Amino acid sequence: MADGPHSEAADAAGAGPAGGRLSAAALIVVNLVPLAGVLALDWDARAVVLLYWAENLVVGFYTVLRMAFLSADEPAHHLGKLFAIPFFCVHFGMFCLVHGVFLVTLLGIGRDGPFMHGGPFAHLWRNLPPGIAWPLFGLFVSHGISFIQNYLQGGEYRTLNIAEAMIRPYGRIMLMHVTILAGAFLVVALGSSVGLLVVLIVLKTVVDLRLHRKSHRAAGMQEPLRSAETTFD
């Protein structure tokens, strides 16, 4: 049954096995880019964790796009988007803010407190590691590849509703950053040696890849269910 019309159409659009491998490969490559920061720019654990915090903003951006591109069969669904998207921006922005203050406080990032000289976001931005532009751009591209291949070409926009799209990033970010913080505390406690930082980066990459596959596999499984429901209606 896996070779049915829907599967063939998805493969032709680039959302089949080849497309999935490309988005996974892009995720792996961009997650290993911080190694260059560690090896060439003397990044420590705090710098690596701040880069991963900045990735939250990229995730939030693509979540807004996912909500905007959701399939809407009725006008009421479009009205729901007009409420849900601004609500998500405010709520997720506060989530990132609290998360950032938590990182600054626990890891002792920066000389001043997080509420000095422009507030927490300005404090976090000032303390981002040197040379972060290219790794951050790489994260933006990696998430963009996944958005195009899995969400648009793979048809995930047809299987999600507005609530599912809105809450999806929270669980992923929380689990990922629990892993990152556990590794970062270990690195800070034992010293920011290159070996330990490499372990932290590889650990984050493995967790990110598993969550990526689980998320898109679950979304793909919903399509046959929705199709079956439509057939019986």
Q: Assign 84 a pLDDT band (cuts: 50, 70, 90).
A: very high
How far apart are alpha carbons 124 and 33 in whole angstroms?
Answer: 20
How far apart are alpha carbons 50 and 109 in whole angstroms?
Answer: 9
Tell me what pLDDT residue 92 has: 93
More confident residue, 228 or 158: 158
Distance from the Cα of residue 19 to its chain's centroid: 18
Prediction pTM value? 0.77
Helical residues (DSSP H) of 108-193, grouped into ranges: 120-126, 133-146, 162-190
Q: Is the pLDDT of residue 120 over 50?
A: yes
Q: Assign 67 a pLDDT band (cuts: 50, 70, 90).
A: very high
More confident residue, 122 or 168: 168
Q: Is the pLDDT of residue 62 over 90?
A: yes
Task: Map out the domains of the chain as residue ranges.
Answer: 5-225
How confident is the model over 2-18, as pLDDT tens digits?
444 444 444 434 445 55
How confident is the model over 123-156, as pLDDT tens digits?
777 777 778 888 889 889 989 998 998 899 988 8
Tell me what pLDDT residue 111 has: 59
Tell me what pLDDT residue 231 has: 44
Tell me what pLDDT residue 114 has: 55
How far apart are alpha carbons 140 and 183 in whole angstroms?
Answer: 24
Tell me if 56 sits within 8 A of 39, measured CB to CB.
Answer: no
Burial 173-186 (b: 16+ CB within 10 A, else e): beebbebbbebbee
More confident residue, 153 or 100: 153
How confident is the model over 156-212, as pLDDT tens digits?
888 888 888 899 888 877 877 787 777 777 777 776 677 778 888 888 888 888 887
How far apart are alpha carbons 6 and 229 in whole angstroms?
Answer: 15
Tell me if 222 sits within 8 A of 71, measured CB to CB.
Answer: no
Helical residues (DSSP H) of 41-161, grouped into ranges: 45-68, 75-107, 120-126, 133-146
Q: What is the overall mean pLDDT for the chain?
A: 76
Q: Assign 40 a pLDDT band (cuts: 50, 70, 90).
A: confident
Range 42-48 average pLDDT: 81
How far apart are alpha carbons 116 and 155 in whole angstroms?
Answer: 45
Range 209-225 average pLDDT: 65
